[in-house]
Amino acid sequence: MAPKMFHLQIQASALMGATLAILPGDPGRVERIARTMKNPKFLAQNREYMMWLAETEEGRKVVVCSTGIGGPSSAIAVEELAMCGIKDFLRVGTTGLIQPQIDPGTVVIMTGSVRLEGTSKHLAPIEYPAVAHHEWVRSLVDTARRLKIPHVVGVSASSDTFYQGQSRQDSFKKGFVVRELEGRMKEMEQLGVLSFEMEAGLILTQTSAFGLRGGAIAAGIVNRHRRELPDESIILDAEAKVIELAAKAIDSLAVGPS
Ligand code: URA
């Protein structure tokens, strides 16, 4: 009998030949994403990994699998999905915008991520770039333009912490950070980085290092020049945009590696 993946608790055959996965962080978002597509079906749930199977308009099978927050749990999801035959991975998340002019609700289409997190160093040396596959970037940008979804395209940054590593002042120790993290948001902003999130650095490094195709999009749910914490009233709407973009971009993604 084919082995069951230790964390995802599925056998490869459960994916019914799917070769593409959408990866939200939040298990609570998985069913919602699957239900925007055809034939949504619950697959399995263990720890932070909730999995559903669905189909795009054009009948492409898609696994929706949550990664949990941050690098370590995301690395397990990518590893085990790859062992089950997944070749295309799209992170669909949320992000904190750090360029002052970008409005919350804007979708960030990542061309790459600054690897400020630690997990990706287990997959490739730090000099190796965390870049999105060009076919993902192409189909995401084309689809966002066609659907008139407000978006920006560029580099994001992935942090291991939501508070200290993203220069938040509203933390337990009121903005105190170790020397290495001082001025991080300012520095990233000056370098033209669009936003902070916590998973793309790992996912894009791991997919590239494995010869797989990775992409990443995230809904901007706060502009850090205006607020510290996300604005709950815009989260549902912002997520709806990023989910619509993900579901539609899949059908214009070229089939197979190129
Ligand atoms: N996710 C993050 O990591 N940071 C934010 O500010 C918003 C979402």
Ligand 1 centroid to residue 60 C-alpha, Å: 30
Report the distance separating Cα 132 and Cα 204, nearest Å: 6
Q: What are the residues whose beta carbons fall under 8 Å from the beta carbon of 31, sequence distance 6 or more?
A: 40, 42, 50, 52
How high is the pLDDT of residue 257?
58
Residue of 170, 196, 232 to mutate, ligand 1, most atoms within 8 A of C-beta: 196
Query: Does ligand 1 lie within 6 Å of residue 221's CB atom?
Result: yes
For the chain, 258 residues long, give each residue's pLDDT as a single digit of tens: 788 999 999 999 999 999 999 999 999 999 999 999 999 999 999 999 999 999 999 999 999 999 999 999 999 999 999 999 999 999 999 999 999 999 999 999 999 999 999 999 999 999 999 999 999 999 999 999 999 999 999 999 999 999 999 999 999 999 999 999 999 999 999 999 999 999 999 999 999 999 999 999 999 999 999 999 998 899 999 999 999 999 999 999 988 755
Report CA dihedral (112, 257, 61, 138) to the nearest 10 degrees: 40
Q: How many alpha carbons fall within 13 Å on the CB side of residue 74?
A: 34
Fold of 17-252: Rossmann fold (3.40.50)
Show me where the domains of the chain are located.
Answer: 17-252
Ligand 1 centroid to residue 57 C-alpha, Å: 31
How high is the pLDDT of residue 255?
81
0.75 exceeded by pTM: yes
Report the distance separating Cα 15 and Cα 17, nearest Å: 6
How high is the pLDDT of residue 244?
96
Residues labelled catalytic? 7, 80, 168, 224
Q: Find out whether 245 and 119 touch, Cβ atoms under 8 Å.
A: no
H helices present in 19-147, as ranges:
30-35, 71-83, 134-146
